[in-house]
Amino acid sequence: MTECSLFAERALLPDGWSRDVLIEIGADGACAAVTPDAAAGAAPRAPGPVVPGMPNLHSHAFQRAMAGLAERAGPGDDSFWTWREVMYRFVRRLTPEQAGAVASQLFVEMLKAGYTAVGEFHYLHHEPDGRPYGDLAEMSRRVIAAARRTGMGLTHLPVLYGFGGFGGQAAGEGQRRFLNDPERFLRLVEAIRDEVRGDPRFGFGIAPHSLRAVTPETLRAALEGLDALDAGAPLHIHVAEQQKEVHDCIDWSGQRPVEWLLGNADLGPRWCFVHATHMTEQETEALAGSGAVAGLCPTTEANLGDGVFPAPAYLAGGGAFGIGSDSHISVSPIEELRWLEYGQRLTRRRRNLLGGEAEPSVGTVLYRSALAGGAQALGRPLGELAPGCRADLLVLDADCPTLVGKPDELLLDAMIFAGNDNPVRDVMVGGRWVVRERHHDEEAAILARYKAALAELTA
């Protein structure tokens, strides 16, 4: 049954740009039919080009509130590890109510920027002293409620975090709010499964935090437990973000982190390797061929001084990738994609490194690859305007100066590389308009609460 429809003079479909596209949307929020060269009939006309909304495959929502607080030079050598100390100090105070306020604000910003679904890699589980809340899923439910309120699509990924370093080292005080053993962790996963079950706006999976935070035994227990709940649910893990992590992993196992996972986990399309920055040529080739998705977060990786992902070799090997805003130092799919290419240009002193013979438009390769990889990593039918996929779409502003006069084949290049004006005018998630004319209905109330939360947190 068709619930609503939209007519687009220009729309990006799986086969490329198409003209006069009628998009018919079912009551379930999925596309029922997508027909090019159609008549508009009674369907409302999109006032600009239509593209699929971008999945954001990696987020720690609460970190939005500390973006900008860690850009001051310290007395020593600033690195990922000193940033992490700032984050731990911040986390110590955050209440569930404040976490919900921050997530709501973040999701409004994401929607307005063109992200229509997010994978929340959620590790802030417990009270500041490490005791579980009366409801084990208290913090997770705040994130889910923020997604419901704002209209954001969500794959919730509770994090298994048990240890402070490779080989089961004891966790530190700053990590108390994150910790679970596999048994309690799986109770949390089950509660989340029950909370989102049957709602097509949501999905769930799990995220073993990193090889620093699990042991082979706890990792195995979590994977088996997830399979019992949903054998298709996605699996995300931070991996090889920092060289110190690579060295520590070699000290522990004799292998590098990606190498260890390639040999010890049953890799495949359910897996998302977040960062995977530091890989040898052999690891890059093997990961590209494994069917897993690389979860790339170029602005966070730049901000934290992580390094540059070996994208040309990975793409040449057929590797899948998606993008995430991770620490939310930037909330813009355009900026993530631009920096994915610019990192390569700066290190290799060449141009247009991620385009190719099959598709010379770098913007098109970046946008379409990130749609497909993001959809795969979130385990939901996303990323295409096609029957059965969620009706998650963006209407671009035809009057945005960077887009004016661009033919179809240059539109995504111009959007990604040619300016800082946000070109996203309207945003639909699951068949429902959540942003109209750059405005979200709840943005004023959500911002007011966010301001109050920040005042409390920085007092």
Which residue, 24 or 326, has its beta carbon nearer to Zn ion?
326
Which residue, 273 or 450, has its beta carbon nearer to Zn ion?
273
Q: How far is the CB of 418 from Zn ion (least distance, A)?
A: 29
# residues contacting Zn ion (CB under 5 A): 1
Q: How far is the CB of 52 from Zn ion (least distance, A)?
A: 24
Q: How far is the CB of 327 from Zn ion (least distance, A)?
A: 7
Which residue, 69 or 398, has its beta carbon nearer to Zn ion?
69
Residues 6+ apart with CB under 8 A from 1: 26, 27, 32
Pick the catalytic residue: 125, 236, 248, 326? 326
Q: How far is the CB of 212 from Zn ion (least distance, A)?
A: 13
Which residue, 46 or 87, has its beta carbon nearer to Zn ion?
87
Q: Is the dihedral of CA 189, 191, 192, 193 positive or negative?
A: positive
Judge whether 326 counts as a catalytic residue. yes
Which residue, 22 or 124, has its beta carbon nearer to Zn ion?
124
Q: How far is the CB of 297 from Zn ion (least distance, A)?
A: 7
Which residue, 325 or 361, has its beta carbon nearer to Zn ion?
325
Q: Does residue 248 belong to the site contacting Zn ion (CB under 5 A)?
A: no
Judge whether 440 counts as a catalytic residue. no
Pick the catalytic residue: 126, 209, 236, 275? 275
Which residue, 7 or 166, has its beta carbon nearer to Zn ion?
166
For the segment 293-332, give every residue that binds Zn ion (CB under 5 A): 326
The answer to whether the beta carbons of residues 154 and 144 sit under 8 Å apart is yes
Residue number closest to Zn ion, CB atom: 326
Q: How far is the CB of 301 from Zn ion (least distance, A)?
A: 10
Q: How far is the CB of 48 from Zn ion (least distance, A)?
A: 33
For the segment 421-440, give every residue that binds Zn ion (CB under 5 A): none
The residues that touch Zn ion, with contacts defined as CB under 5 A, are 326
Catalytically annotated residues: 275, 326
